[in-house]
Structure 1
Amino acid sequence: MRSDELVKELVQLVKVRSEVYVTEMGTVKRWNYREAAEAVRRLAERVGLDVEVVKLEVSGEEVPAVIAGIGGKGPSLAFVSHYDVVPAKGPWVIEGRAFDPFDPLVVNGRVYGRGAADDKSAIVASIAALAELADEGSPLRYKPFVVVTGDEEVGGLGVRALIEGGFKWDKVAILDAGAEYLSVGASGVAFGWVKVKGRSGHAGYPHKAVNPVEGALRLAHYMLETYKPRRAAKLSKLDAPPGSPLPKVWGRFSFTIMKLPPGEPEKHNRIPGEAMLGFDVRLLPEEDLEDSLRELYASFSEAAAKMGLDIEVTAQGQRGWYSKDETFVREALEAAKVAYKSVGLDSEVAAAAELGGNDGTFFDSAGMPVVAFGAIRSECNVHSENEFVYVRDLTMLKEFTKALARGGAHGGHDAN
């Protein structure tokens, strides 16, 4: 598929407004999932792939997945992407031209639109790659499949449902990833709330109240001075992405939200009864989630005891992952180098672990070796206004997919 054909197919997919988000009540709101899956199915069938639409159910709603392949022999290899996107409001403006984020603009070698990079670029590139492999008919190291799910943007619910439904592959390449390095791991995450309890009262009589807002500020300061440095001192064995302040992935801790709980009036002259802080902890890819949660709770308890605060902490999390199949990593690195050369990029492709998380955790937990590589670059404005993907990187990712199915730079080992 030529680059102009890739662009044409990507534009059609971006036009499907397959948005998803989580409400303040914790429910998931989904739009046009069936239409998005149907658009993927039509594209895959039109280029000659064998297609199955899997009707998965998440929290009582249908979250379809599309699986497409070309047959063949050898170990199975899933190229994983997703059709759901974060919400977007227009108009967006590029070079004085206003446009709707779901009516893409193609200009200066870029496709602008919500989901153009994250992650509909991967859908188009992987389907095109399998179609070309089928036409070429050359021996492959792996039996490749395109796997497209929903609900990635709300915690990987679609992938989890697929795995729980019994689907499994010998190897997995997640294409919802950066193009600047091969991802061989991802950080875990723990997040939640700490509620600081006080006694409400009139702001003119602070001596008759116990101020939880000031308590929350003191608590935050203590945690930033003690727990945050302890997290930062934890270093992974895996390299950090290019441009990181440290050579290895490191532990991170942030307060990200400060608010009053539901039911507390927000008035300047009223001291509330409770205040809340939201936090985010980033774990090393190889770090144990339960151990990290115990350390977090202990640190909050220590802080509360020293300052005489009454607090309640709730947290949940997801462990990280890292690649344990060294042969598969070598093949993926070779494939990435082939892909770069195919579009005239001469920069070196290195292996590193992601500072964020991704669906690799679920595949890794199910015993499937994972790597990740995609068409997303740091300047692509993912999840923001004016999201875009380079046309060049659509071709690059297509060539990566083909090269990895062959087993790397030299076609790997022919399947028996």
Structure 2
Amino acid sequence: MRKLGETKLKLKSTVIAVFIASEENSAITGVGVDALVKDGLLNKLKGGPLYWIDTADKQPCIGTGGMIPWKLHVTGKLFHSGLPHKAINPLELAMEALKVIQTRFYKDFPPHPKEQVYGFETPSTMKPTQWSYPGGGINQIPGECTVSGDVRLTPFYNVTDVMKRLQEYVDDINENIEKLDTRGPVSKYVLPDENIRGRHPYIDF
């Protein structure tokens, strides 16, 4: 960056350097990335390409993995927990569906041989990091929930391919909701008498 400033080279692309604070501290808001997003200072980066250069302990590390944030929205049927056979528990549905999604992800995007060559400590991963639901009493099965997380992708796989596959996993689950594993004798994701099906309607990126 210093060299670019000193030589004032005429480049075909615009170089933007972002220096952030409070990267992983969610207790302090309004600084770091939060402030940059609020002021629209990261908008120019949306079109890419984007290279993340980080430091870890003693030495710099480059491109440890691209990030794809995702949210999985799940719809069940709200009911009293004393009568679980009349409900569709979205928490159970989310857990079982996510297990299928993760299993298929790791089968389709296994550790790549080049990761060892370039010293990657971990392969590509897809996992949940947050869980939310509308709230309610402990004796109430909620009607919906959202699981959020990220994909950390090594550069040997294509981001577009991964997003397409994740959507395919969710679509397949929706079409075959009855085939998901259940939790206990009255756990179910379809209520035929009421013509109600649990839904994993969409995954947001």
Normalised TM-score (structure 1) = 0.35
Aligned to 1:158: 41
The residue that corresponds to 2:201 in the other structure is: 312
What displacement does 1:306 show?
Answer: 3.2
- Partner of 1:271 in structure 2? 141
Q: For residue 240 of structure 1, what is the aligned residue in structure 2? A: 119
In structure 2, relative to structure 1, the CA distance for the partners of 1:224 and 1:253 (3 Å cut) is: same
Matched position secondary structure for 1:189: strand
Structure 1 residues not aligned, in runs of 5+: 1-66, 91-114, 116-149, 165-172, 317-416
Alpha-carbon distance change, 73 to 310 in structure 1, aligned in 2, over 3 angstroms: closer
Q: Deviation at 1:250? A: 2.1
- Which residue number in structure 2 is paired with residue 300 of structure 1? 170
The alpha-carbon deviation at position 226 of structure 1 amounts to 3.1
Q: Secondary structure at the match of 1:240?
A: coil
Whole-Å separation in 2 of the counterparts to 1:252 and 1:298: 17
Q: Please state whether the residue corresponding to 1:250 is helix, strand or coil.
A: coil
Tell me whether 1:254 sits opposite 2:127 in the alignment.
Answer: yes
C-alpha change, 1:73 and 1:189, in structure 2 (3 Å) is closer
In the TM superposition, what are the counterparts of 1:57-68 in structure 2 within 5 Å?
none
Alignment partner of 1:193 is 2:71: yes
Going from structure 1 to structure 2, the CA distance change for 1:159 and 1:187 (only over 3 Å counts) comes to: same
Q: Give the CA deviation at 1:234.
A: 4.5
Aligned residue among 143, 151, 155 for 1:285: 155
Q: Residue deviations 1:181-207, cap 9 Å, x none?
A: 443434222222112211111111122
- State the 1:293 CA deviation: 0.7
1:295 offset after TM fit, Å?
Answer: 0.5
Distance 1:286 1:265 in 2: 41
- Is 1:256–1:280's contact at 8 Å kept on the other side of the alignment? yes
Q: Decide whether the 8 Å contact of 2:53 with 2:63 is kept in 1.
A: no
3-state SS, counterpart of residue 158 of structure 1: coil
Q: Is the 8 A contact 1:84 1:152 kept in 2?
A: no
Residues 209, 271 of structure 1: 8 Å contact kept: yes
Q: CA deviation at 1:85?
A: 3.0
Counterpart residue number, 2:184? none
Secondary structure in structure 2 of the residue aligned to 1:224? helix
Q: How big is the shift at 1:161? A: 4.1
1:298-345 CA deviation, whole Å, 9 max, x = no partner? 1122233333341122322xxxxxxxxxxxxxxxxxxxxxxxxxxxxx
For 1:215-241, what per-residue CA distance to the aligned partner results, in whole angstroms no more than 9, with x for missing partners? 12221232333333433x142635234
Maintained 8 Å contact 1:191/1:281: yes
Structure of greater Rg: 1
2:22 to 49, 71, 85: 85
Q: Counterpart amino acid of 1:313?
A: Y
Q: 1:175 to 1:201 in 2, by over 3 A?
A: closer
Matched residue of 1:220: which SS? helix
The separation in 2 between residues aligned to 1:163 and 1:296, in whole angstroms, is 21
The offset of 1:283, in angstroms, is 1.7
List gaps (5 residues or longer) in structure 2. Answer: 179-197
* Residue 175 (structure 1) shift: 6.4
Deviation at 1:212, TM superposition (A): 1.5
RMSD: 4.1
SS, match of residue 266 in structure 1 = coil
Name 2:183's counterpart in structure 1: none
Percent identical pairs in the alignment equals 19
